[in-house]
Amino acid sequence: MAQPAPNAEEGVEKLVEEYQSVQEQLRSFAALLNQLQNQKEEIERAKQEIQASSGKIYLNVGGVMVETTKEKALSDLDNRDEMLRLRITSSTKQYNELKEKEKKLAEQLTQLYKSQD
């Protein structure tokens, strides 16, 4: 088996580092997407509770409980839900782009290792 030239070895190392970096970014995005999805589910549960409620509604604003209307509380939750939806869409797109980049890097690494045999 032939030893790769120093420049080829450096190229492989750079590809491996880039591949590992992309994998780390993918893990971060997966955690972020999970967190955003949990927040979205929390908002949905809060909306259901408010819609089913017939009493007073309170919001926590800066550590202080403030009375509000049902409509205002639902409107605020709808706004937060829309912001989360946009963040989830954007983050999912970035995740998919990184996944594609990871696949290409894996293919390149496979080809490099095969050519060294």
Q: Is residue 67 part of a domain?
A: yes
Q: Is residue 24 part of a domain?
A: no
Q: Is residue 4 part of a domain?
A: no
Q: 88 vs 114, which has greater pLDDT? A: 88
Q: Is residue 7 part of a domain?
A: no
Domain count, the chain: 1
Q: Is residue 22 part of a domain?
A: no
Pairwise CA distance, residues 101 & 97, whole Å: 6
Please give the pLDDT value at position 102. 96
Q: Is residue 6 part of a domain?
A: no
Residue-range definition of the domain harbouring residue 79: 29-116
Query: What kind and span of H or E run contains 30?
Result: helix 6-52
> What is the secondary structure of 8-19 as a DSSP string?
HHHHHHHHHHHH
Strand partners, 61: 64
Q: 32 falls in which pLDDT band (50, 70, 90)?
A: very high
Q: Is residue 10 part of a domain?
A: no
Q: 8 falls in which pLDDT band (50, 70, 90)?
A: low
Extract the tokens encoding 50.
Answer: 């408010």
Query: For position 65, which CATH number holds?
Result: 1.10.287.370
Residue-wise burial string across 53-89, b where 16 or more C-beta atoms lie within 10 A, e elsewhere: eeeebeeeeeeeeeebeeeebbeebeebbeebeeebe
C-alpha angle 90-107-11 in degrees, rounded to nearest 5: 100
Q: Is residue 76 part of a domain?
A: yes
Q: 115 falls in which pLDDT band (50, 70, 90)?
A: confident
* 68 phi/psi in degrees, rounded to 5: -145, 175
